[in-house]
Structure 1
Amino acid sequence: KVFVYWLGTEPFLYIADAEFLKKMSTEVMAKKWGKPSVFRNDRDPMFGSGLVMVEGNDWVRHRHIVAPAFNPLNLKVYISQY
């Protein structure tokens, strides 16, 4: 469930434990995780300062703006069309 992956000289820790990640994302670390510098450097020109790349309080603000679009009731409208 846990392994380290190297992208060049940058190590990445992967955790495949949903309960642990949920706890870390909502209670313990929340906004403090941040994005690895290797991703910021490579993807910033493509994504800019949108939801994919922002961190901390800016991420929280962006997430609150887009969250209603992913409400199950709103998603049913799109799913029923297929």
Structure 2
Amino acid sequence: MHMNKAWTTPYKSIVGGAKFIGDRYVLAGQNSLYKMRWNPEGMVRNGRPTHQYATDIGWASKQVHSMYNLYQGIGSYNLSLDIPVYR
């Protein structure tokens, strides 16, 4: 998909990117790095991965260090894990 969003400042990029991810993925139930990459519900419905944010098989593991550092900056937080179970 070609994206021409005029995100010309860091602020516009952060807000625009967050809206894009929220509208296209989080609201579709893909609310984690794993679900954005593999879309387990799409796999159940179609028998194959669909609606993937990233096609790099190592994408989630490459993002985890940045996410860890961001959470360290927050200080206190509650972590809840959503782990898909396949049968």
TM-score of the two chains, using structure 2 as the length reference:
0.27
Larger radius of gyration: 1
Greater helix share, structure number? 1
Higher strand share: 1
Give the TM-score normalised by the residue count of structure 1: 0.28
